[in-house]
Amino acid sequence: MNLNPEAFVDIIPYLVTGLWYTLIITLVGVALGCVLGTIFGLMRLSKNGFIKAIASIYVEVLRGTPLLAQIFFFHFGIPNLLGFNLDALVSAIVVIAINSGAYIAEIVRGGVQSVDQGQIEAGRSLGLNSRQTMRYIIWPQALKIMIPPFGNQFIISLKDTSLLSSIAVAELMYQAQTYSSITFDAFEAYFMVCLFYLMITIPASLLLRYTERRLERS
């Protein structure tokens, strides 16, 4: 077994750079995904058939196709069709936003639908219109239900960023591949990249469990 102990330390600067890109892409992408998901999730609840159909197509297409295919489509396919080049980092954020938005849309739809419909009647009895009922009665209750799935989606999207190495985004996986190709220390490189992902996902999972327990008690 050819193990290079120094490689476990030498790769750290590469992975620190990759960690920065991974977090930026995840945070910005999921934040935009929350906006998209909220819009399309509420559209799926619309009584207007056309609006509901548009939202359903968005959700089903994005959830029904592999993320890797979406990455290539948005980074290579669309720019090639329209005749321009797209920065890899921009492509990465856009893909994570659009992909996570489709899943968040279902979280929003499920969260709103899980609120007792009697709450709507209660809002009307108080003289609130549909928008006010959603804002002051339905949405606060639904948001409480949606927080744990939001957290799960954040962790999923963070791990999904590893696929962005396919378009040379300098995130964690790409940095590990770069280091491995230079030094041929593949075991050390990929062991450390797994460790870096665990350094993010384990605390995030623990925080999510803590939040879930707090929500159950409240």
According to the model, what pLDDT value does residue 84 have? Answer: 86
76: left (phi over 0), alpha (psi -120 to 50) or beta: alpha
Going along the chain from its start, the domains and CATH numbers come out as 5-217 (1.10.3720.10)
Which pLDDT tens digits describe the chain residue by residue (218 residues)? 578 888 999 999 999 999 999 999 999 999 999 999 999 999 998 889 999 999 999 999 999 999 999 999 999 999 999 888 889 999 999 999 999 999 999 999 998 888 777 766 777 777 777 777 777 778 888 888 888 899 999 999 999 999 999 999 999 999 999 999 999 999 999 999 999 999 999 999 999 888 888 877 76
* CA terminus-to-terminus distance, the chain: 54
C-alpha to C-alpha distance for 27 and 204, rounded to whole angstroms: 13
Q: Are 74 and 95 in contact (CB under 8 A)?
A: yes
Q: Are 154 and 146 in contact (CB under 8 A)?
A: no
Q: Say what the pTM is.
A: 0.90
22: its two tokens:
């991974």
C-alpha to C-alpha distance for 171 and 177, rounded to whole angstroms: 10
C-alpha to C-alpha distance for 68 and 190, rounded to whole angstroms: 20
According to the model, what pLDDT value does residue 170 have? Answer: 92
According to the model, what pLDDT value does residue 1 have? Answer: 59
According to the model, what pLDDT value does residue 145 have? Answer: 85
Q: Which of 157, 173, 155 is nearest to 94 (CA)?
A: 157
Q: Are 156 and 197 in contact (CB under 8 A)?
A: no
116: its two tokens:
């007792």
C-alpha to C-alpha distance for 101 and 59, rounded to whole angstroms: 8
